Amino acid sequence: MPDAPKFVITDYGFPTITIEREIIETAGGQLATFQCKTEEEVIAATKEADAILVQWAPLTHAVLQQLPHCKVIVRYGIGIDNIDLDAARSRGIMVCNVPDYCIDEVADHTFALAMSMARQLPALDPLVRQGVWKIVPPRPMPASRQMIFVAIGYGRIARAVLDRARACKFHLATCDPYLPAGTKLPPDVQILDIDQALKTGDIVSLHLPLTEATRHLINGEGLSKMKPTSLLINTSRGGLVNTVELAAALSRDQIAGAALDVFEQEPLDAAHPLMKCTNALLTSHVSWYSELSQPQLQRMAADEAVRAIKDEAVRNRVA
């Protein structure tokens, strides 16, 4: 099919791409798949592409300048910080993401991390295994109904996390610089500014996109504002947190603990100082996953790319 639109998957971590292939070929397209890691590999793979599906590969300014035919880029997932949006706009390339495929999974994982830390499970388990049996935990443990659960950001996932916190009787609050004026919040959700959120939150959970304005939002200065009993949770974007400064704060008990599923560099380096922090709970960017969410992501990304190529209305355009 020489005139068939060319779809390229630059990289993926799924066992197969059978779902995408069926959707794209049924729509009359041709599909090529790669496992690109560098700009050079992406340029070579995508030079004839009409549509690109990308997971982690870099779609930088240099890459986008080499796309004479590309009409749309679809990111497998929510974050789009591996795509140069300004360069895409200048080239007239549509950029879409899939922001609504794993809301419950990420919310469940976020709240599981928060409750694990609040109930001190990472500290209690090794004590039991060492033969230490105490019915009082090693650190102060307030009841959830005494604690303020703050979501920094108030998007789909943040709201789902606060729903779970509500069920456990936390006091609820949010801080979101992107919240549209006039947005009505539930009466039990207090609106705070960033300083108030850091100073008053017992559990501070991050739910923001990664931009130049939000990069290292949580750094040494911000951590110094938090209570020594507070907990930091990040299942959003790794770059929101300066993890070296977080590790330093944790090592001197400046805050009680942190739980992270995302990091600036993944996988997390074995020599990273967070690895030595016993009051840090670390997971490997798995909060998005369930046996339902993975095929749903693949299907939704492929459907979006096909819609764009067919000049149909897309669901989630970000540029």
Active-site residues, by number, are 237, 266, 285
Return d(Cα 277, Cα 265) in angstroms, integer: 18
Query: Which SS3 state, helix, strand or coil, does residue 17 take?
Result: coil
DSSP symbols for 117-158 = HHTTHHHHHHHHHTT---SS-SS----GGG-EEEEES-SHHH
* Three-state SS sequence of 72-113: EEEECCCCCCCECHHHHHHHCCEEECCCCCCHHHHHHHHHHH
Please name the helix (run of DSSP H) or strand (run of DSSP E) that holds residue 167, with its range, or none. Answer: helix 156-167
Q: How far apart are the first and last CA of the chain?
A: 30
* b (16+ CB within 10 A) / e for 9-32: bbbbeeeebebbbebbeebebbbe
Q: 103-118 vs 156-167: helix axis angle to the nearest 10?
A: 50
DSSP symbols for 30-83 = EEEE----SHHHHHHHHTT-SEEEESSS-B-HHHHTT-SS--EEEESSS--TTB
Count of all residues that appear for the chain in the document: 319
